[in-house]
Structure 1
Amino acid sequence: MNLQTQIPLKKLANNLIDYNSKILLLGSCFSENIGDKLNYFKFQSVQNPFGILFQPKAIENLITFAINEKKYVSEDLIFQNERWHCFDAHSSLSSSDKNELLNNLNAAVSSTNKELKEATHIVITLGTSWVYRFIEKDTIVANCHKIPQKKFLKELLSVDEISESLEAVISLIKNINSSINIIFTVSPVRHLKDGFVENTQSKSHLIAGIHTIIEPRNNTHYFPSYEIMMDELREYRFYNEDMIHPNKTAINYIWEKFVTTWFSEESIATMKEVATIQKGISHRPFNKNSEQHKLFLKTLEIKKEMLQSKFLFLQF
């Protein structure tokens, strides 16, 4: 008896992720979950230089600015609640020091430019189709930074607007890195502050927009994070207490599906070795001065050195 519906997933024949891959992750908070996993297993990955970005236009703007090497100046900033902010970036970059924010923004532009040119894979996680337009400048913002809502217009991006934005993203990236693999996914986090029906509208626009433009022969792909959460993990025991965000079990489950689909067998074997070392590092002995623990640490160092001899970039 089968008590669960399964999303059919097929492992790719080529362009798989391994320990020589360079991975850039952009988008909603779910990209942070996957990015944390990649960091744990010591892959060469960078996540969200501009902080969490929820909607397609924000990601398009970041990539455009990065490729054009935009230089942020004071006029690009706003001051609110005793902190400086930028409408293009998440509030995690905001600062009480204007110059610190400018330096961080310009450093993020430079690092994103470099990563886009060198990456073998980019994972773009879209969270919502709802956007906010700053009335004063008639521009769509990435983050409102708790500025009064009356200063914004809330809009729902159409399927056509999303597909046009994503086509621009693909074109921009491919112009500087023609061999890159672009993986789109939709965040399983439900944006219920928009409303239940409105969230469904939003996610459906994202999914339809993505499927209008992906073409595996052009190294553009879709990974069904949202569908796995909604269909395979359709019980509330897979959610955090807010009943909105996937819990650790759900994140691990979707991560395992992602690994099965996108990672080479050699990299999966190496991940097991890395996990053994990571668990050894976090081990807390009863007696750190015992001969047994000293032997354990020596064995752990040997394992580290053996792995680092194969992958020079690995740091524990």
Structure 2
Amino acid sequence: MNPFRTVLKPGVSKHTLSLGDRIVTVGSCFAEAMGARLLANKVSTLANPFGVVYNPHSLHKAVLYAVYNEPVPESTFLERDGLHYSYDFHSSFSAGNRAELRKRITDCLGATHHFLKDARAVILTYGTAWIYTRNETGEVVANCHKMPSQLFTKSILTIDEIVASFGDFHKRLREFNPSCVVILTVSPVRHLRDTIEGNSLSKAILRAACGTIARSFEDVEYYPAYEIMMDDLRDYRFYKRDMIHPTEEAEDYIWEHFVATYFNAETRAFFEEWKGIRAALSHRPFHPGSASHQSFLRDTLAKLEHLQQTVNVEEEMKSLRRQIESHRA
């Protein structure tokens, strides 16, 4: 029977990942969605530590801040409406004074530095090739923080500029952690504020740059999240009501494809087992004190005890024990 769609079948990566590997996700809000799924499945993950960052130049810059674990320049700080921000970080990094903000950023960079040192993979998700440059300094910003538009010049990165920026980033990352691989993705999130035409141009530049980069480095791969959304799913029902962000169903589909591509058989088997346990943990009974539910809790606890040598399930076990104890006769 004709499926009336083009199914993008998972390949098998030469850079196989396992449950014990450390993974860092960085970039657009799609990086947060994938990072959340890695964490939910007990993979040691640092999910978007710098907040949402869209353009490749700012993304590379943020990771290199963590590589060198050095203070960010004072010139990147700004104040608006009584709150302090940094042009190189997402607006979630804000504080009532500069010292507090500097500490938050320093703590973040320090934690990322130590996690990144032993990371097996960094997943970079590029969101847009459009950039904003500060007229005062000539620096590309990660976020304009709603400052007046006349302070910036909007332009679009070229393929060559992205490739050159990645080349410098890659060299420094390899010096810091030679065993770390890079997985590139283009975010399927639509940037319609740049117009439909502008978004299409931006995504095309990002995709072409990723292709050039992946062909140039043995330890870099491109993962086709964008193509899965555009050509495999290819339907507005897989977008949320804003018609910009993929639905949870679409993200789950891409996640399952990613798992099949990158994780080894042992880890995939664990994910399947953990999927059932997660469903059991989220179960909300009508009669929590009933004998049948208490038996269900004890069975689930036994499964967790079996897994505790593999992953950290201490919090889940504590929760079940509290539920059992609270209804013990």
Question: Is TM-score (shorter-chain normalized) higher than 0.5?
Answer: yes
State the secondary structure of the residue aligned to 1:92. Answer: coil
- In 1, Cα distance between the equivalents of 2:193 and 2:288? 50
User: Amino acid of the residue matched to residue 11 of structure 1?
Assistant: V
Distance of 1:64 and 1:192 partners within structure 2? 29
Partner Cα distance (1:124, 1:315) in 2: 30
Q: 1:9 to 1:310 in 2, by over 3 A?
A: closer
Tell me the SS of whatever aligns to 1:26: strand
> Per the alignment, in what secondary structure is the counterpart of residue 144 of structure 2?
coil
Matched ranges for 1:51-90 at <5 A: 51-72=51-72, 76-90=76-90
Q: Is 1:45 matched with 2:49?
A: no
Q: Judging changes above 3 Å, is the alpha-carbon distance between structure 1 residues 158 and 226 closer, same or farther for their aligned structure 2 residues? A: same
- Match of 1:255, SS? helix
After superposition, the CA RMSD in angstroms is 1.7
Specify whether residues 241 and 282 from structure 1 end up closer, same or farther in structure 2 by C-alpha distance, changes over 3 A only.
same
Partners of 1:303 and 1:100 in 2: CA distance: 44
How far does the alpha carbon of each residue in 1:104-134 deviate from its partner, in whole angstroms, 9 at most, with x for none? 1001111221122110011100000000011
User: Structure 1: which amino acid aligns with 2:34?
Assistant: I
Offset, 1:75: 5.1
DSSP-derived class of the 1:193 partner: helix
1:274 aligns with 2:277: no
- Retained in 2: the 8 A contact 1:166–1:210? no
Deviation of the 1:314 alpha carbon: 6.8
Structure 1 CA distance, aligned partners of 2:190 and 2:205? 14
Q: Which residue of 1 aligns with 2:32?
A: 32
State the shift of 1:73 in Å.
6.7
Distance in 2, matches of 1:229 and 1:248, equals: 12
1:269 shift after superposition? 1.0
Aligned: 1:222 with 2:187:
no
Shift of 1:8: 4.6
- Measured in 1, the distance between the counterparts of 2:313 and 2:281 equals 18
Instruction: Report the residue type matching 1:304 in the other structure.
Output: L
Rounded to whole Å, the distance in 2 between the matches of 1:160 and 1:28 is 21
* Structure 1 residue 313: Cα displacement: 7.4
Q: For 2:250, what is the secondary structure of its paired residue?
A: helix
**Hey, what does 2:126 align to over in structure 1?**
126
TM-score, structure 1 normalization: 0.95
The runs of 5 or more residues in structure 1 that have no matched partner are none
1-structure distance, mates of 2:149, 2:314: 45
CA contact (8 A) 2:10 2:258 kept: no
How many residues align structurally? 315
For 2:325, the equivalent position in structure 1 comes to none
Map residues 134-213 of structure 1 onto 2, 5 A cutoff. Answer: 134-213=134-213
Residue 93 of structure 1 aligns to a residue whose secondary structure is: coil
Classify the secondary structure of the residue corresponding to 2:63: helix
* 1:135-192 superposed Cα distances (whole Å, 9 cap, x missing partner): 1222100001111111110010011001111112211111111121210000001111
Q: TM-score, normalised by structure 2?
A: 0.91
Q: Does 1:96 align with 2:96?
A: yes
Distance 2:130 2:166 in 1: 15
* Residue identity matched to 1:6: V
Partner of 2:265: 265
User: Per the alignment, in what secondary structure is the counterpart of residue 199 of structure 2?
Assistant: helix
Would the alpha carbon gap of residues 294 and 313 (structure 1) be closer, same or farther in structure 2, given more than 3 Å must change? closer
**Residue 59 to residue 73, structure 1, CA distance change in 2 (3 Å):** closer
Q: Structure 2 counterpart of 1:300, which letter?
A: T
Shift of 1:63: 2.1
Distance 1:217 1:105 in 2: 31
| Contact kept? 2:35, 2:48, Cα under 8 Å | no
Evaluate the alpha carbon distance shift between residue 312 and residue 118 of structure 1 in structure 2; reply closer, same or farther with a 3 A threshold: same
- Label 1:217 to 1:69 Cα distance change in 2 as closer, same or farther (>3 A): closer
CA drift of 1:94 comes to 1.1
- Please give the alpha-carbon distance, in whole angstroms, between the structure 2 residues aligned to 1:188 and 1:95: 31
- Once the two structures are superposed, the pairs formed by residues 303-314 of structure 1 within 5 Å of their partners are 303-312=303-312
Q: CA deviation at 1:98?
A: 2.9
Task: Give 1:31 shift.
Answer: 0.4
Maintained 8 Å contact 2:42/2:311: no
| In 2: Cα distance, 1:152 partner to 1:74 partner | 18
Partner of 2:254: 254
For structure 2, the 5+ residue unaligned runs are: 317-329
